[in-house]
Chain A
Amino acid sequence: MAADSTQQAPAAAPADRVQRHAAIDRIFHWVTAATMTALLVTGLLPVVGIGFAWLDVHWISGLLLTAAILLHVVRAVTVQGLRAMSLRPRDLGEIGGRRRPGKYSLQQKTIHLGWTVAILVAIGTGIVLMIKAGTPFFERDPYVFTLQTWGVLTVLHDLAALLCVFLVLVHVYFGLLPEKRMYLRSMLRGWVTRAELAENHDPERVARGE
Chain B
Amino acid sequence: MDILRYGHDAWGQVVVNGLSWDLLPVAAGAGVAVIVIHFIYRALSRALRPRADRTGGN
Q: Which of A's residues lie within 8 Å of B, judged by CB?
A: 1-4, 6, 44, 47-48, 147-148, 151-152, 154-155, 157-159, 162-163, 165-170, 173, 177-179
Contact = CB atoms under 8 A, between A and B. Distances in A.
Given A3-B56, A169-B35, A44 B24 contact: yes
Given A2-B58, A3-B56, A163-B27, A155 B15 contact: no
A165 B27 contact: yes
User: Which of A158, A163, A167, A168 has the most CB atoms of chain B within a 10 A radius of its CB?
Assistant: A158
Interface of B: 4, 7, 9, 15-19, 21, 23-24, 26-28, 30-32, 34-35, 38, 42, 56-58
B35 A152 contact: no
DSSP class of B's interface residues: helix, strand, loop or mixed? helix
19 contacts: A2-B57, A3-B56, A3-B58, A4-B56, A44-B24, A47-B24, A147-B9, A148-B15, A151-B17, A151-B18, A155-B16, A158-B18, A162-B24, A166-B28, A167-B31, A169-B34, A173-B35, A173-B38, A177-B42
Given A173-B35, A178-B58, A47 B28 contact: no
A148 B8 CA distance: 10
Contact of B15 (A3, A147, A157, A163): A147
A112 B27 CA distance: 18
A165 B34 contact: no
Nearest to B19: A158
B13 to A, nearest CB: 9
A33 B43 CA distance: 29
Given A155-B19, A162-B24, A169-B35, 7 more contacts: A2-B57, A2-B58, A6-B58, A48-B24, A148-B16, A155-B4, A162-B27
